[in-house]
Amino acid sequence: MGEVSKFLTDDEVEDVIMALAHGWQGDGFDEEQARKAVSWAETVRLDAGLLQGVLDGTLHLNIRKDGEIMFKAASTKEGGTDHENHD
């Protein structure tokens, strides 16, 4: 079948599509809608990973003047969040 998603397992892709099928309650959906649902799930997975890196202190972030958020690997774990360093 080939790789459907770089960020989701085949089972996760199937679960997303099943959720889409249940959400339509018999009205049906097309391939483009299925692709959009999987794309959304991939974005969530990627965003969750970035957030976890920030919370773990392994990523730093910066917001550029144009509003774009940029991420950079922390050089050491000591640069972590306050709650991590004060528990």
Domain assignment of residue 15, yes or no: yes
Domain assignment of residue 2, yes or no: no
Give whole-number Cα distances, 37 to 41, 80, 85, in Å: 6, 33, 38
Domain assignment of residue 4, yes or no: no
Domain assignment of residue 3, yes or no: no
Domain assignment of residue 5, yes or no: no
What pTM was estimated for this model as a whole? 0.70
Q: By residue range, what is the domain housing residue 26?
A: 10-85
Q: Each residue of 10-24: pLDDT tens digit?
A: 999 999 999 998 887
Residue 1 in this model has a pLDDT that exceeds 60:
no
Domain assignment of residue 64, yes or no: yes
Residue 77: pLDDT band by 50, 70, 90 thresholds? low
Q: Domain count of the chain?
A: 1
More confident residue, 83 or 56: 56
Domain assignment of residue 52, yes or no: yes
